[in-house]
Structure 1
Amino acid sequence: MPATHVAVLGECVADAFATADAARGELTLRVLPGGGPANTAVALSRLGTSTRFLGRISRDTFGALFRAHLDASGVDLTGCATADEPSTLAVATLDESGQAVYSFYAEGSADWGWSPAELTPERIGEVACLHTGSLALVRAPGSGHVEELLGRTAAHATISIDPNVRATLVDPAVYRERMPVWCALADIVKLSDDDLEQIHPGEPLEKVCDTWHTEGARLIVVTRGPQGAIISLDGERATVPAPATDVVDTVGAGDSFTAGLLHRLHSSGRLGGRLDDLDLDQAKDAASFAARVAAFTCSVAGANPPWARDLDEQVSRPGAQGRA
């Protein structure tokens, strides 16, 4: 694989969407492949970035679903480990705005069992960027080994982190405690405004960003749903609007945004180091593209990010400019 690929490390999750049949007294679950890091890897590959996924994928039925989904999207799976533990299951309920609320069944599952012997530089390969986040960063016993790998990889590649706070599984105080460590390792921190509020409740965005810059992160991007995103590059800030779209649901939108951001930075030659040549206009361009990718994902059911051709067709349609 070329030295310019992007690696994504983290979990696969079976996203189960429930449909109740009161007359028959039963509940039907429709299971789709998900998990924040896996969604990001799929979106990156579909956009045209050479992508390797590092995950501990179970031998169970869900694991087979994950492998087929990632492979069909062109993701390189040679960095994955096959695990005997079961897959993580998340049962999703959609509210009136299409926002998903999850109940996780994650104890003893495959995703968190990384060992030092499994997390080797050889598994990553010669990367331009290593992205990780979500539960892989905070679930024992693997989380500490993931941080160690980030530290080794930061010497020669861009590091990207998305905390993707899951407060029902992990106390937000854990994220608050680890953020200084992650910012010292990361060049890019992307998170939602909800994540920010969970980690630093009531604190102004500008204050939190400046603290994280001081701790080491150069580029911080905070997504705000229909209000777009705020970019902070070494304390210099700008706002990017969200394209207009008819929202079906928001499942996978944040992961698609991350993929769009990394894809645009990668295709413009910005990844591979400490982002030393990145300026605010270039960061805005990457975030604007990411917003288009996220908006497209919101326009379809589930975590089903666009292929590059979908975005091309979207722009070419009459009246479609600026929409997703």
Structure 2
Amino acid sequence: MAMRLIAIGDNVVDYYKDRGEIFPGGNALNVAVLGKRYQAAVSSYIGIIGNDRAAEHVKQTLLLENIDISRLRQAFGPNGEAVVSLNAEGDRVFVGSNAGGVQAYMGLRLNQQDKEYIASHDLMHTSIYSNLEHELPGLHKKIPISFDFSTRWTDSYLQRVCPYIEYGFFSGSDLTEDECHQLIHRVHSLGTKVVGVTRGAEGAIFSEEGRLYRQHITETVVVDTLGAGDSFIAMFLMQYHQKHDMEDALRQASVAAAKTCGHYGAFGYGVPKVG
């Protein structure tokens, strides 16, 4: 079956200070682009970009990757930017941002035509950085929803989001095994069917309605880990949502994440930062 994927919400440029380059990024945008690369028949993106050079680079990248941006918003102001540096171990870490640029202070509002357009897809993905929580109860009735919580959640936030999503993803490198199990159990209890916790070098723990699965990392030469988690999510969704084979989906997701670690940026397109 040909899959139609839509991602809604956050986009940024990741500014690599050590290289003086910007790369397109943001969880929702990354999943849209990577989902298309992983054989989505259609991959669409709705979000808000600014009107600066960074925004133009993001827009042109989406066009080059054959992403449907027919409902993309553009506003006057700076595009979202995250500042990335190297820590003592050589890993990339986020050290600052412009707080999301235009999309943060405008907020995405969906009209009836947007909602009908979204419903024409098979699966929707969004994230904690997308400020779309208020739309989830209505969208949930129209389309299965995937949601990335990253490293930021509280129990009250889980209660607000989890009843309306099919897939919940968490970054849990700092969690113990027991804490991962407790989180998975809590998210299931709120109505989410598939829960995944990625744990960096420790691999991932996923649960399908209470049945646990473990996935080890795929060994590779690491150039840049940024975007590896989004690659994992995109490939997992493309495989699992169509075939419902958890073990195969996790294996392919692990391979995809390893490949992303082999180049700079979530999916490339680095250009010199100007200004």
Superposed displacement of residue 202, structure 1: 9.5
Asked whether the equivalents of residues 78 and 123 of structure 1 are also in contact (C-alpha less than 8 Å), the reply is: no
Structure 2 CA distance for partners of 1:13 and 1:108, relative to 1, 3 Å: closer
Q: What do residues 185-213 of structure 1 show as CA deviations (whole Å, max 9, x unaligned)? A: 1110111113x74xxx9962212211110
In structure 2, relative to structure 1, the CA distance for the partners of 1:48 and 1:3 (3 Å cut) is closer
- For 2:161, the equivalent position in structure 1 comes to 182
Q: CA 1:117/1:296 → structure 2, altered by over 3 Å: closer, same or farther?
A: closer
**Structure 1 position 250 matched with structure 2 position 225:** yes
Superposed CA deviations along residues 213-256 of structure 1, whole A, max 9, x for unmatched, are: 01011100111122221111111101111111111111111111
Q: Deviations over 1:102-161 (max 9, x none)?
A: 31112652345235355830342412111100311xxxxxx2xx2233222211321100
Match of 1:149 in 2: 135
Tell me the amino acid that sits aligned with residue 40 of structure 1: V
Q: Which residue of 1 aligns with 2:32?
A: 41
In the alignment, the residues of structure 2 paired with residue 294 and residue 112 of structure 1 have an alpha-carbon distance, to the nearest angstrom, of 32
CA spacing shift, 1:8–1:97, aligned 2, 3 Å: same
Distance 1:291 1:237 in 2: 16
Residue aligning to 1:303: 266
CA deviation string 1:283-309 (max 9, x = no partner): 22212111111110011122127xxxx
| Equivalent residue, structure 2, for 1:285 | 248
Look up the match of 1:317.
none
Residue by residue over 1:163-206, the C-alpha shift from the partner in whole angstroms, topping out at 9 and shown as x without a partner, is 123xxxxxx5x644211221111110111113x74xxx996221
Matched, 1:18 2:17: yes
- Is 1:80 aligned to 2:72, yes or no? yes
Cα distance change on mapping 1:112 and 1:237 into 2, 3 Å: farther
- CA, structure 1 residues 108+238, in 2 after alignment: closer, same or farther (shift >3 Å)? closer
Which structure would you say has the larger RCO, counting Cα contacts within 8 Å and 6 or more residues apart?
2
Query: 1:209-220 to 2 correspondence within 5 Å?
Result: 209-220=184-195
Counting aligned pairs with the same residue, the percent is 26
1:31 Cα deviation from its structure 2 partner: 1.3
Residue identity matched to 1:46: R
User: Equivalents in 1 of 2:100, 2:231: separation in Å?
Assistant: 27
> Does 2:20 align with 1:29?
yes
Counterparts of 1:181 and 1:110, CA distance in 2 = 22
Over 3 Å counting, the alpha-carbon distance change for 1:223 and 1:58 in structure 2 is: same
Gaps of 5+ in 1: 20-27, 137-142, 166-171, 269-277, 306-324
Q: 1:243 to 1:51 in 2, by over 3 A?
A: same
Secondary structure of residue in 2 paired with 1:212: helix
Partner residue, 1:169: none
4+ residue segments displaced more than 6 Å: none
* 1:4/1:126 contact within 8 Å kept: no
Q: TM-score if structure 1 supplies the norm length? A: 0.75
How large is the RMSD of aligned CA atoms in angstroms? Answer: 2.4
2:182 maps to a residue whose letter is: K
Assess if the C-alpha contact under 8 Å between 2:48 and 2:102 holds in 1: no
What amino acid does structure 1 have at the position aligned with 2:37? R
Count, aligned residues: 265
Distance in 1, matches of 2:110 and 2:212, equals 41
